[in-house]
Amino acid sequence: MYEFDLLMNGFATLAANPLAIFLSLVGVTLGIIIGALPGLTATMGVAILLPFTFGMDPVSGLLMISGVFFGGVYGGSVTAILLRIPGTPAAAATAMDGFELTKKGMAGVALGTATLSSFLGGTASIVVLIFMAPLLAGFALKFSASESFALAVFGLSIIASISGRSVIKGLIAGFLGLLIATVGMDPMDGFPRFTGGYTELFNVPFIPVMIGLFAAAEAFKSLEDPKVRLGMAAALGRIIPEWATYRRLLGTVARSTGLGVVIGIIPGAGADIAAYVAYNEAKRFSKTPENYGKGELAGVAACEAGANGCTGGALLTMLTLGIPGDAVTAVMLGALTLQGLQPGPLLFKEHAELVFTLFAGMLFCYVAMLVIGLGLLRVMGRVLQMPKSVLTPVILVLCIVGTYAINNSLFDIGIMLAAGVAGYFMQKWDFPASPVVLALIMGPMAEANFRRALSLSGGSYDFLYTRPITVVLLTIAILTLFLPLVKRWRSHRQETRRTDASSRLNQA
């Protein structure tokens, strides 16, 4: 009840600060726009706004940054669903089913589902942040290099589930992503690898590759028939899904939110990993897993609830332990320090009223995200009414501007266009692009933590089977990798039996 009283006091303090409320609304709106633009991530938005918060009081400045954070994570889903252009890495998972729903004329319901799931996932994660901080922070402390390596392997095992019609092609695409991930600086020794002398390749240009594979490839494909509209030029129609429809998704949303919170509190993980893991678990628990990747509302709900559930988890370790859960909270850690606040257990003891005012403001930010997000959807949905001949150049310009804005580098634009051409042929030959992105995210994390764990154990591999959390995660990874193969083998066997039985009946 002590936390509840502090929270109520925080709401009262926030209500008496109209500037903080206004800046929260500005932050959420900017975050949604930034998240929707390819290449402009929530991390970039928070970093850009950071200097403008120096002169503000701590509550106003930190809530404006929090609004950008929350809005940015959600905003990526809008273009992912409408145009198959994931504004953020986490939205790449949403694009798999979201764009398929748009092609079926269900863009409005898909966007409404994404908005509601983002709101529920994010709000629940802030509630967890408020009331369960000590317990979850203690669990996160048990994660060392070996557990982080096992988590990355678990993430890679998801490739088998998101490979679409051919697991073999998905695994090949994943292997290609792992090869690309080896380019750059060695994570332990710091030597350049496979860079060909180009300093631009010292860090894997992950976001340009992602923009190319998903956005530019789609634009190149539309050039095949530029006179035709996108095929879903009708108005969005109903946006908020019917209660009977959304009620069936609540279990998926709750499970995905829980996964997002847990993954968020693990340092080094982030919304992109949370979205893919939530998607995989939703598919694994589904009675109709074959519908995933073909336009399944539960897939959209899982990704958005998982990604937004990650925000509260990431803030949890940052505020209670001073350990940022992802890149955005790393920037927010700097913002707290600049405001004269030292994250850690003492923050809750010495500035309890301020912290709980921030928590109250974060809950307000998510309510604002729900209202502003739903209000902007129809405006954003008008892009559907453009013919391809107009929309394709716009998409390509957005891809180029967004890519250039990351590092002000023409080299990155070349990488993006090359990835776009590769993505175009991958679509033509039915190779999924998502495993490439997943491998690019998980590959460096797996390599760095495996080598770190091996170094800490003195060269022994016993960390693979002596640490309980590592064993559990690796076991789940093995099951996740092979279960889809076993299911397909059983399905093929049953189909063969039915065919044989039918042939025998016909002969009789």
pLDDT digits (tens, 9 = 90+) for 44-64: 677 667 667 767 888 888 888
Phi-psi region for residue 394, left (φ > 0), alpha (ψ -120 to 50) or beta? alpha
Best CA proximity match to 177, nearest among 147, 219, 210: 210
Q: Report CA Rg, the chain.
A: 23
pLDDT surpasses 50 at 233:
no
Residue 394: CB atoms within 10 A of its CB come to 13
Listed in sequence order, the DSSP H helices in 322-341 are: 327-338
Best CA proximity match to 384, nearest among 196, 198, 110, 191: 110
- Band (pLDDT 50/70/90 cuts) for residue 228 is low
Q: Report CA torsion sign: 394, 396, 398, 400.
A: negative
> Rounded mean pLDDT of 221-230?
66
More confident residue, 283 or 158: 283
Q: Kindly report the average pLDDT of the chain as a whole number.
A: 79
Best CA proximity match to 351, nearest among 364, 363, 339: 339
pLDDT surpasses 60 at 315:
yes
**Which of 6-10, 158-162, 302-306 has the weakest average pLDDT?**
158-162
Give per-residue burial for 12-48: e unless 16+ CB within 10 Å, then b: ebbeebeebbebbbbbbbbbbbbbbbbbbbbbbbbbe
Distance CA 385, CA 396 (A): 17
- Mutual orientation of helices 107-131 and 133-140 as an angle, nearest 10°? 90
| DSSP one-letter string for 101-152 | HHHTT-HHHHHHHHHHHHHHHHHHHHHHHHHSHHHHHHHHTT--HHHHHHHH
Give per-residue burial for 306-337: e unless 16+ CB within 10 Å, then b: bbbbbbbbbbbbbbbbbbbbbbbbbbbbebbe
435: tokens are 């495993």
What is the tally of structural domains in the chain?
1
Residue 447: CB atoms within 10 A of its CB come to 18
| DSSP one-letter string for 268-302 | T--HHHHHHHHHHHHHHH-S-GGGTTSS-HHHHHH
Q: Report CA torsion sign: 127, 94, 146, 330.
A: negative
Q: Which domain holds residue 30?
A: 1-502
pLDDT surpasses 80 at 496:
no
70: tokens are 């929350």
**Which of 79-93, 246-260, 374-388 has the weakest average pLDDT?**
374-388
- What's this model's pTM, rounded to 2 decimal places? 0.70
> Rounded mean pLDDT of 21-39?
83
pLDDT surpasses 50 at 130:
yes
pLDDT at 43: 66
Confirm whether 331 is domain-assigned: yes
Measure the CA dihedral 434/282/258/438, to 10°. -10
Residue 487: CB atoms within 10 A of its CB come to 12
SS3 227: coil
> Rounded mean pLDDT of 459-485?
83
- Mutual orientation of helices 107-131 and 2-15 as an angle, nearest 10°? 120
- Band (pLDDT 50/70/90 cuts) for residue 120 is very high
pLDDT at 384: 55
pLDDT surpasses 50 at 231:
no
Distance CA 139, CA 267 (A): 12
> Rounded mean pLDDT of 106-132?
87
Confirm whether 26 is domain-assigned: yes
Confirm whether 507 is domain-assigned: no
Confirm whether 52 is domain-assigned: yes
> Rounded mean pLDDT of 207-223?
78
Best CA proximity match to 416, nearest among 3, 39, 8: 39
The residues, any chain, with a CB within 8 Å of residue 429's CB and separated by 6 or more, are: none
Confirm whether 349 is domain-assigned: yes
Distance CA 151, CA 209 (A): 23
pLDDT at 234: 46
Distance CA 319, CA 414 (A): 40
Confirm whether 238 is domain-assigned: yes
Is 399 in contact with 420 (CB distance < 8 Å)? yes
Distance CA 354, CA 20 (A): 13
Confirm whether 280 is domain-assigned: yes
Output the 3-class SS for 444-486.
HHHHHHHHHHHHHCCCCCCHHHHCHHHHHHHHHHHHHHHHHHH
pLDDT surpasses 80 at 309:
yes
Measure the CA dihedral 176/303/362/333, to 10°. -20
More confident residue, 395 or 119: 119
pLDDT at 135: 65
- Band (pLDDT 50/70/90 cuts) for residue 488 is low
- Band (pLDDT 50/70/90 cuts) for residue 367 is very high
The residues, any chain, with a CB within 8 Å of residue 55's CB and separated by 6 or more, are: none
**Which of 34-48, 117-131, 227-241, 425-439 has the weakest average pLDDT?**
227-241
- Residue recorded with tokens 């901080």: 133
SS3 374: helix
- Band (pLDDT 50/70/90 cuts) for residue 460 is confident
Confirm whether 36 is domain-assigned: yes
Task: Convert the pLDDT of each residue in 426-456 to its tens digit.
Answer: 888 888 877 887 788 778 878 888 988 888 8
> Rounded mean pLDDT of 363-376?
88
Is 83 in contact with 383 (CB distance < 8 Å)? yes
> Rounded mean pLDDT of 497-504?
70
SS3 254: helix
Is 277 in contact with 155 (CB distance < 8 Å)? yes
SS3 435: helix
115: tokens are 């908005």
pLDDT at 7: 81
Distance CA 69, CA 236 (A): 27
Choose from 3-17, 20-34, 137-151, 153-167 the range with maximum mean pLDDT.
20-34
